[in-house]
Chain A
Amino acid sequence: MRLLNLSIAIAFFIMLDGCNALTECENVKPREAILLIDVTDKQLFDDIEADLNANLPTFMAKTGLGEIAPCESFTLTLVPISAREGLQAASETIAIKRKGQSYQAERQQANPAPLVKLLKAQLAAFKALTDDETITSGSSIANVMVKALTHANLEAETTLIIFSDMIENNQYLNMYRNIPSAENLAEVLPQLIDPLVLEEFQVRQREGLDANIIIVCKDSPNVKVNARQREVKSFWAGLLAEMRLRNVQFMDNLTNIN
């Protein structure tokens, strides 16, 4: 009889041990969203913030960007676009690292509360940056964008969302004065982006880097430039095509997503 008890206990243990195959994820599939937010102008930033506050929930619900299934993870990275060329990224990740959990547990792990918290904190921080003249003295959208993409996870399905008026204004290019035509893009590209950064980006591309790019193109505080927004969009579409980034969408605000 003691043998029977022992057998039952062993059988029980083996059955429970066999559950690992049902619950362990062989690998966790990553997804990443990189939000580049323009902080070079207070008015522009307010517009962006208002858009995020009003439309982000709908956007996320509609695109399902932040929804994760078991064995998936989602990383939200926030990067300010400013006069500085350096990458100041802040990230947070949510993940469901085991399968076969209760729906309740899965919902809890998929809850984007940490991401929302980060977003709120970063928006507050970015708001403070709009008062800093060294930050708002120009904008290096292209450099920041390439650097952000270069640092993205190669294995992840990456979505880059740029909230900006898309007016590049730095020592290499001042779009307030001149918006390069499509024919000059090949010449502009190495000037606009640090060659080393560009090279690294191209290497990463060869390794498999790709991203969906959504450009939420806001109105510029400069009315003159606003009138040329079509040219601005054309420039960026061409530039991104030159960089072999084909999946690009332009929209005015987050509700316009297809």
Chain B
Amino acid sequence: MKDLQNYTTVLRDVGLDSTPERDESGLYHWSDGQLEILTQKEFNDLRINQGKIDRTNASLKALSEEILAFEAPTQALEQEGNGLLGGNEDEIRDQQAQLDQYKASLAQLDKDMLLRGHIPPNEAPPPEAPVAPPKKRNRVTGREILGFLLIWVIGEVFMTYVQWQSLRDGRGIEDLIVRSISLGVVLFLIHLVGRFFKRDRRPVHMVFLGFSFLMLFTMLLGPLLLNEAYPPIDGNADVAAQWSLQEEPATTPAETVSPYPFWVNFYRKNDMLPGIFVFLFFVIMQTFPKSKPKEIEPVLPQLEPESGKNQIEERRQYYQQQIKQIENQLKELKEIQANAIAPNTKQLHSILDELQAKQSEVMALKREKDHLLMENDHLLRKLEMHLKRYQTEYLNVLKNDQVKALVVQPVWPTMQDLKTYFNLS
């Protein structure tokens, strides 16, 4: 439909000799059909947008001028602030240098005194003082427990096997358990004190270990040797003899007087004694307070006489007072400085805030302008497309009319012609 309308328009323009052309001054003259295209409603926005762009440009220009206008007072304020700071800055620098010097002197004095064995009063220990390493917790491992149990079992089996005959004959189950526990206690205490000894080599530990090993060997080998030297008496009862009515009532071997020395019988009846001795030794060793190990007195240099000591203290106090005084002065100077530049800083901050607001405004205007330019560009492309279509139809019509084609020489518009028509920048 649009193509038909376009064709009609072109046909009319050709018929009425409305030809697009450019005059000698370079001004382009639009044909009626072209003007109809240009004056279409949708392309009115080109002029409106251009107006907006012009206004935006004006605003941007005004804002740029305003921003530039802030430069002078900002610089003035900065200079003024620097001037105010400069007044105290030298004094503060001097005071700081003096403070550092006093502190270094005091540290040196303390270090010297420490080397001479004099600990400064009310002072934290020097950082280079040796710090006791955290004690490693001596955990009992499963392997140690297994080792202990294995030795106990082996020892017990050995002892029981070696002296079963004499043992069971003279000892009840309770006695055997007590004897076994006794061996276990000795082994356990040897392990335990062995650990103590590794950690803290006290002579008493050494004595205990020696004694315990002696008792352990006594428990293990004593019965063996005794059985060899004094074989146990076979006390099996003769039932027939016991029931004899002819003789005096039979007595059991237990009631008979043993042919062996007293100590043999005593040991056989009380072979848990070594374990008890070891246990008592251990209890005594652990119960009685430890004798404090001799403190090794550090070899100190000869201390100065009392008067020298006082002088050192006076010097320390002097340094401390000076340090305190300078620190106060420095504090005051810094406060004065801060108070002096406070109004300038405030003004400068307000200017900067305002400047930031202006810059934000400029950015917004630029974004708007870009949007308008993009919209116009789009419209121009569209317009150009319409005009090209018109041009094509026009040339087709001329192709069909040989006479007109010889007379009419149409000129086609450029983009600049379009911009000129709409007064676009």
Contact = CB atoms under 8 A, between A and B. Distances in A.
Interface string A182-222: 00000000000000000000000000000000000000000
Interface in B229-277: 235, 237, 239-246, 249-255
Given A53-B246, A102-B170, A61 B239 contact: yes
B174 A104 contact: no
Contacts of A1: 286
A64 B39 CA distance: 148
Contacts of B177: 15-16, 19, 22
Given A5-B283, A56-B245, A108-B252, A102 B168 contact: yes
A244 B66 CA distance: 143
A102 B250 contact: no
Given A102-B168, A107-B237, A110-B237, A19 B185 contact: no
A104 B252 contact: yes
Main secondary structure of the interface of A (DSSP, over half): helix
Contacts of A252: none
A5 B237 contact: no
B71 interface: no
Nearest to B254: A104
Interface stretch (A38-46, A116-124, A152-160, A227-235): A116-124
Contacts of A120: 245
A252 to B, nearest CB: 19
Interface string A98-117: 01111111011011111011
Contacts of A67: 239
A105 B239 contact: no
B174 A100 contact: yes
Contacts of B172: 23, 100-102, 105
Interface in A72-113: 99-105, 107-108, 110-113
Contacts of B283: 5
B181 interface: yes
B174 A116 contact: no
Contacts of B4: none
Given A102-B169, A112-B242, A107 B253 contact: yes
A19 B181 CA distance: 12
B287 interface: yes
B249 A113 contact: yes
Nearest to A49: B245
A166 B181 CA distance: 61
A248 to B, nearest CB: 24
Contacts of A116: 242-245, 249-250
B243 A2 contact: no
A2 B289 CA distance: 12
Contacts of A173: none
A64 B239 CA distance: 8
A112 B243 contact: yes
A113 B251 contact: yes
A53 B247 CA distance: 10
Contacts of A15: 177, 181
A228 to B, nearest CB: 32
A15 to B, nearest CB: 6
Contacts of A66: 239, 243
B121 to A, nearest CB: 38
Interface string B153-182: 000000000000000111111110110010
A60 B240 contact: yes
**Residue among B175, B178, B239, B249 with the highest chain A CB neighbour number at 10 A:** B239
Q: Which of A56, A99, A102, A105 has the most CB of B within 10 A?
A: A102
A22 B235 contact: no
Contact of A19 (B168, B173, B252): B173
Nearest to B168: A103
Nearest to B282: A5
A58 interface: yes
A243 interface: no
A123 B245 CA distance: 10
B287 A2 contact: yes
Contact of B174 (A19, A52, A53, A64): A19
Nearest to B167: A102
A5 B168 contact: no
Given A16-B178, A103-B235, A108-B252, A5 B286 contact: yes
A175 interface: no
Contacts of B282: 5
Contacts of A105: 172, 254
A105 B181 CA distance: 22
A248 B47 CA distance: 150
Contact of B253 (A12, A64, A104): A104
B346 to A, nearest CB: 72
A160 B286 CA distance: 66
Contact of A60 (B175, B239, B254, B286): B239
Which of B169, B245, B283 counts the most A-chain CB atoms under 10 A from its CB?
Answer: B245
Contacts of A53: 245-246
A60 B235 CA distance: 19
B173 A60 contact: no
13 contacts: A4-B286, A5-B287, A19-B173, A53-B245, A56-B243, A60-B243, A66-B239, A104-B169, A104-B252, A108-B254, A108-B255, A116-B242, A120-B245
Given A104-B252, A111-B252, A116-B243, 15 more contacts: A2-B287, A4-B286, A5-B282, A5-B286, A57-B240, A100-B174, A102-B175, A104-B235, A105-B172, A105-B254, A107-B252, A111-B242, A112-B242, A112-B243, A116-B242
In the A-B complex, the 3 residue pairs with the smallest Cβ-Cβ separation, listed nearest first, are A100-B173, A113-B249, A57-B240
Interface of A: 1-2, 4-5, 8, 12, 15-16, 19, 22-23, 52-53, 56-61, 64, 66-67, 99-105, 107-108, 110-114, 116-117, 119-120, 123
